[in-house]
Structure 1
Amino acid sequence: MSILAAHGGPPTIDVPGPHYQWPTIDADFEQAILAQTRRSLSDRDASGVLGEFEQAFAAFVGAPHVVSFASGTAAIHAMSRIAGLRPGDAVIAPAYTFPATATPFAFEGVEVLFADADEYGNVTADTLAAQLQPNVRAVIVTHMWGNPCDMTAIAAFCRARDLLLLEDCSHAHFASWAGQHVGSLADMAVYSTNQKAITTGEGGILTMNDNRYRELALLFGHYNKRCQVEIDPGADYYPFAYTGMGLKHRMHPLAAAIGVHQLQRASQIEQRRRQILGRVTASLANNPVITTAVVPDRLGRHGLYVIGLRFRPDNATVTRNEFVKLCLAEGATEVDVPGSTRDISAEPLFARPDPHAPYRNVTVSPRNLPGVRRFQDTFVKIPIWGHPDDDELVDGYLAALTKVSAAVAA
C-alpha cells in the first residue's frame, strides 16, 4: 500500500492550482465579451442582449416566460414579492440549503419554516408535510448539489393543499425528474447563474408559466422603459410601470453576453460533465469509504453543478474531516466540505418577525432535523470538470480518493 502524503509519502497530484476554473476562457469567449462592449454596456429594455439571453434560457429549460436579474438572490426576492406573500404568511423551505433560498422571504417579513432532508440533502413531500401550519401559503424546494427532488410527490402535495410551489434550481440547470425539466411543475422557479454549469459570472433567471407573474417580475427589477413597453396597459398595476416597485435588479449586458455564449454550447457542456459524473460514479461504486451521492438515472437526471460524495464513517478509521485533510495532503485541493451551504434553520435572521426591527442577536433553539444532520455530517464535494483537457485532474482526484480510502478503510 502506498504511503499517504500526510505520512511522508509522495502526493498523488502534483499539478499547480487552481484545479477548477469555469467557464472556459478561450478566444470565442473573449470575442463575445469584446463584441458586447462595442454593442452596449447598459441595456434598459429587452431589445438587445438581455432579451436574447432570456429567450435562449427559456428555450433551454422549456419555460414559457423568463426574466433576468442581477443575481439569483435578487430573482428569489422578486419571486417572494410577486407571489403575494405578506408578513404573517409562512413558507416552508429546506433547512439544508444556501441561505439565499430563504433569506429574501425573511427580509419581507414572511415566516420561514424549515423542513428536514433526505439522503440527498433534499426536502420531500413528507418532510414538508411535517411543517404544515395554518398560515403556510407556499413551499420552496432546492435541488441540492444537482440532485433533483421528487417533484411528482411534491407537486401533488402542493396541489392538494392549494400551496404555491416555488423552486430554487440554482444547482440544477441540467436536471430533470421523471422526464420533466426541474422548474416545469412550479408556479415559479429561479436559476442562479453565478459560476454554475451555465454561468453569466453573476446573475439569475426567474421562470414562470403565468404572464402576470412575468409582468410583476419586470415591475420588481426592470422599471421604466421595459415595463412601459412590455406590461399590458390594461393591467391594474400598469400605473406603476414608470417607477416599478422601487428597485432595480437588471443583469449587466456583459453578464448576459456570457450567458448567450454559454447557452450556445450547452449541449457540449452537458455531454462533458455527464461523462465526468459517470466516470467518477463508476470508479467509486465499490469504494467502501466514499461513493457518489447521486439520484439514480431511472428517477431523475443530475443537474451537473458539482459531484456530491457520501463519506461512510462506519467503514473508516478516521472522521470525515480527517479524510478530507488526507486528500488535501495528496494534492487534491478541491476535495471540500461545504461551509456556506449548511443547516440555516438556527440563523437569527429567521427569528425576526418584524423585518424593520433593529438587528440584534437572537438566541435560536436548535431544531431536531436528523436527516439534515446525517447528510451534512457525511457530505463531501468535488468539481464536475468541464474542460476537455481536464482528464489528468480527473484521474488524479480519483487516484487520491482511492489511495486515501484504502489507507483508512476499517
Structure 2
Amino acid sequence: MINALAAHGGPMTLQAPRPHYQWPIIDASLERAILDQAHRSLSDRDATGIIGEYEQAFAAFLGLEPGQVVSMASGTAAIHAMSRILGLSPGDAILAPAYTFLATASPFAFDGIEVVFCDADPMTGNVTAQSLADRMQPNVKAVIVTHMWGIPCSMDEIAAFCAAHDLALLEDCSHAHFARWDNQPVGTWGDLAAFSTNQKAITTGEGGMLVARDPRLRELAVLFAHYNKRARAEIDAGSEHFPFAFTGMGLKERMTTLGAAIGVHQLARAAHIESHRRHNLDAFTKALDGNPVISPIVVPPEQGAHGLYVLGLLFHADQASVTRDEFVRLCVAEGALEVDAPGSTRDISGEPLFARRDASAPWRATAVRAVDLPGVAAFQEAFIKIPAWGYPGDEELLDGYLAALAKVSAHVAR
C-alpha cells in the first residue's frame, strides 16, 4: 500500500538538506583556477590572456575554428550584439518565440525593432518552420529561435524556411550547450548564435558567448563588445570596420577574467559534465516510462541530442485528479524541493516592452495586441522542470526525486 502523501500527513519521501542544486561544483580545482587568475590578471584589454584562451576552448567545444566566437558580458549582451551586427532598425521586424525567457527578444525591443511572436509546438515549447511561416510579414528581416529547456529546434526545416525567404537565422542556445540536431551542434546552424553562461551546464558565473563564423560579422561582434586594443589588433587595417576600432560601437560588453577562468575550467570538464547529466536524463526517462501523469521530454537519438540544462517533464492533466500546480506542491511537500513550474520563462508576447517601435520613446506602458498562441498555452500549462544535477553524490537526490514523483503520481492518477 502506498504511504499517504506528506501534504496529507504521511512521511516525506526525501529529507535532504538544502540546497538540492548548486552549480558549478565548487571544489579545490575551481578555487585554484579562480585564485590563480586573480594573481594573473583581473582585467584583460585584449584576447592574449585568459579571455582568448576561453574563446578558443569554447570554439573547440562547438567544433568551430578559433576566432569564430567572441565573449560577452552576458547572453543578453550577445543577443543585443546580434541586433546591431545585422543592422536592424525601427521599421524592421524579427520572428521570435513567444514562449521563452525575455532576453531572447528584449534587446530587439530595446532597439525599437518589431518583435513578431510565434506559436510553439505543444510537446517541446519550440517554434517550428510552420509557426514561423504563419506569422511572416513583409518587414521581417530575421528569425531568432530558442532551443527551449535544452530541446533542439528542428533546425533543418527552420534553416530551409529562412533561406527561402532570405532571412537571417539567429539561435538562442542559452539552454542548450550540449544539444545537437541532425548530428550538428546547435549554435552552428544560424548566421549568428548566442549562449548564456550564467548558471547553465557550462558556466562562467555570469557571461555570454556570440558565435559569428562569417569574418565580417565577427568583426562587428568585436566592435560591439570591445574596442581599442583588442579591436585594433584583430580587425584588419584595410577593413571597412577598422575606422571604428578605437571606439568600437560605443559600448563595452566584455566579460571578466575571473569568469573566463571559470569557463576554461568547466570546458576542460565538459565531457564529464555531459556524461553525468546524460546518465541522469536516461535514469529519469527509464523510471518514468509508463507513468500516466508525467512524461519526460526527450529527443529521439536519430534526430539529435538533449542540451542538458534541466530535465523537462510534461504534466498530463487529463490523466490526473489535480492540477499541474497542485502536483508540483505535492512533490515539494514530499521533499523534492526543486520540482518547479517556471514563471520567469513563459509567454512574453503581452509585455509592454514589445509595443515599443522607437528606441528613444518615453517609457510608458502601451497595451500589446493579443495573439492566439494555442501551442504556447498548452506547453506552458503542462511544463515542469527539475535539475539535471551532474556531480558526484547526486545519486541520493536523483533517487529521492524519482521516488517522490512516482509516489505523487500514484496518488493523483485517474
**Normalising TM by the smaller chain, what interval?**
over 0.9
Q: Tell me the TM-score normalized by structure 1.
A: 0.99
How far does residue 63 in structure 1 lie from its aligned partner after superposition? 2.6
Match of 1:109 in 2: 112
How far does residue 365 in structure 1 lie from its aligned partner after superposition? 3.2
Match of 1:190 in 2: 194
- Secondary structure of residue in 2 paired with 1:57: helix
Checking the alignment, whether the CA contact within 8 Å between 1:137 and 1:164 is kept in structure 2 is yes
- Secondary structure of residue in 2 paired with 1:353: coil
Checking the alignment, whether the CA contact within 8 Å between 2:150 and 2:307 is kept in structure 1 is yes
1:208-243: CA deviation from partner (whole Å, max 9, x where unpaired): 210111111111110111001110111112111111
1:304-357: CA deviation from partner (whole Å, max 9, x where unpaired): 000000000000000000000000100110000111100000110010111211
How far does residue 366 in structure 1 lie from its aligned partner after superposition? 2.5
Checking the alignment, whether the CA contact within 8 Å between 1:63 and 1:208 is kept in structure 2 is no
Matched, 1:143 2:144: no
Checking the alignment, whether the CA contact within 8 Å between 1:96 and 1:342 is kept in structure 2 is yes
Match of 2:345 in 1: 341
Q: Tell me the TM-score normalized by structure 2.
A: 0.98
Range with greater deviation from structure 2 (225-234 or 292-301): 292-301
How far does residue 110 in structure 1 lie from its aligned partner after superposition? 0.9
Checking the alignment, whether the CA contact within 8 Å between 2:105 and 2:115 is kept in structure 1 is yes
Given the alignment, which residue of 121, 127, 142 partners 2:125?
Answer: 121
Aligned length, in residue pairs? 410
CA–CA distance in structure 2, aligned partners of residues 405 and 298 of structure 1: 30
Match of 2:11 in 1: 10
Match of 1:42 in 2: 43
How far does residue 108 in structure 1 lie from its aligned partner after superposition? 1.0
Q: Aligned partner of 1:384: which letter?
A: A
Match of 2:176 in 1: 172
Match of 1:27 in 2: 28
Match of 1:282 in 2: 286
Structure 1: 5+ residue stretches without partners: none
CA–CA distance in structure 2, aligned partners of residues 54 and 237 of structure 1: 22
Q: Aligned partner of 1:229: which letter?
A: A
Match of 2:80 in 1: 77
CA–CA distance in structure 1, aligned partners of residues 269 and 371 of structure 2: 43
Match of 1:56 in 2: 57
CA–CA distance in structure 2, aligned partners of residues 263 and 216 of structure 1: 26
Match of 1:393 in 2: 397
Checking the alignment, whether the CA contact within 8 Å between 1:63 and 1:207 is kept in structure 2 is no
Structure 2: 5+ residue stretches without partners: none
Match of 1:66 in 2: 69
CA–CA distance in structure 1, aligned partners of residues 92 and 238 of structure 2: 29
Match of 2:257 in 1: 253
- Secondary structure of residue in 2 paired with 1:170: coil
CA–CA distance in structure 2, aligned partners of residues 347 and 261 of structure 1: 38
Match of 2:244 in 1: 240
Checking the alignment, whether the CA contact within 8 Å between 2:45 and 2:229 is kept in structure 1 is yes
CA–CA distance in structure 2, aligned partners of residues 361 and 80 of structure 1: 23
CA–CA distance in structure 2, aligned partners of residues 339 and 396 of structure 1: 24
Match of 2:409 in 1: 405
**Identity rate of aligned residues, in percent?**
67
Range with greater deviation from structure 2 (375-384 or 180-189): 180-189
CA–CA distance in structure 1, aligned partners of residues 354 and 310 of structure 2: 28
Matched, 1:94 2:60: no
- Secondary structure of residue in 2 paired with 1:357: coil
- Secondary structure of residue in 2 paired with 1:226: helix
1:266-297: CA deviation from partner (whole Å, max 9, x where unpaired): 00000000000000011011100011012222
CA–CA distance in structure 2, aligned partners of residues 330 and 66 of structure 1: 44
Matched, 1:332 2:333: no
Q: Aligned partner of 2:93: which letter?
A: A
Checking the alignment, whether the CA contact within 8 Å between 1:306 and 1:384 is kept in structure 2 is yes
Range with greater deviation from structure 2 (253-262 or 84-93): 84-93
- Give me the CA root mean square deviation: 0.7
Q: Aligned partner of 1:237: which letter?
A: H
Match of 1:357 in 2: 361
- Secondary structure of residue in 2 paired with 1:37: helix
Checking the alignment, whether the CA contact within 8 Å between 2:212 and 2:221 is kept in structure 1 is no
- Secondary structure of residue in 1 paired with 2:386: strand
- Secondary structure of residue in 1 paired with 2:169: strand
CA–CA distance in structure 2, aligned partners of residues 102 and 199 of structure 1: 22
- Secondary structure of residue in 2 paired with 1:268: helix
Checking the alignment, whether the CA contact within 8 Å between 1:80 and 1:105 is kept in structure 2 is yes
How far does residue 302 in structure 1 lie from its aligned partner after superposition? 0.2
Match of 2:375 in 1: 371
Range with greater deviation from structure 2 (81-90 or 359-368): 359-368
Checking the alignment, whether the CA contact within 8 Å between 2:93 and 2:139 is kept in structure 1 is yes
